[in-house]
C-alpha cells in the first residue's frame, strides 16, 4: 500500500510541489530529495537539524526506518529503492 501511495505522490510531484514528512520508507523512496530531521535539546533549548541524505546515508536512513539496521534491513531498503526507481522509469515511458 505504501508503494502505491508513494508512486501517486511522485506522479503528483511532476506538476505540483509536494513536501511529505513520513516515517514510511515505502513513501520516502519516491522522493527526488530526502532529508533527515532531528530534534535535539541542548542546554534546555530545543533545536531542529535538517540534513540532506544521498547515496549510502539515504540507504542507512531507509534501513533504520524499517527497523534495526542490519543485513536484512539494508537489503530491504536497497530493494525498495530499486522497486521505486523501476516504477518511476516505467511511468516516464
Q: In this predicted structure, what is the pLDDT of residue 5?
A: 95
Backbone angles phi, psi at 37, to 5 degrees: -110, 125
Q: How far apart are CA 28 and CA 3, in angstroms?
A: 9
Residue in 72, 77, 91, 80 with CA at minimum distance from that of residue 9: 91
Q: How far apart are CA 83 and CA 16, in angstroms?
A: 23
* pLDDT (tens digit per residue) in 42-91: 999 999 999 999 999 999 999 999 999 999 999 999 999 999 999 999 98
Amino acid at each position: 500500500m505504501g508503494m502505491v501511495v508513494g508512486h501517486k505522490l511522485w506522479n503528483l510531484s511532476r506538476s505540483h510541489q509536494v513536501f511529505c514528512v513520513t516515517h514510511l520508507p515505502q513513501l520516502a523512496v519516491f522522493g527526488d530529495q530526502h532529508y533527515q530531521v532531528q530534534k535535539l535539546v541542548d542546554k534546555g533549548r530545543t533545536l531542529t537539524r535538517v540534513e540532506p541524505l544521498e547515496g549510502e546515508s539515504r540507504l542507512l536512513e531507509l534501513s533504520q526506518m524499517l527497523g534495526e539496521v542490519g543485513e536484512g534491513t539494508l537489503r530491504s531498503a536497497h530493494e525498495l529503492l530499486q522497486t521505486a526507481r523501476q516504477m518511476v522509469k516505467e511511468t516516464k515511458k
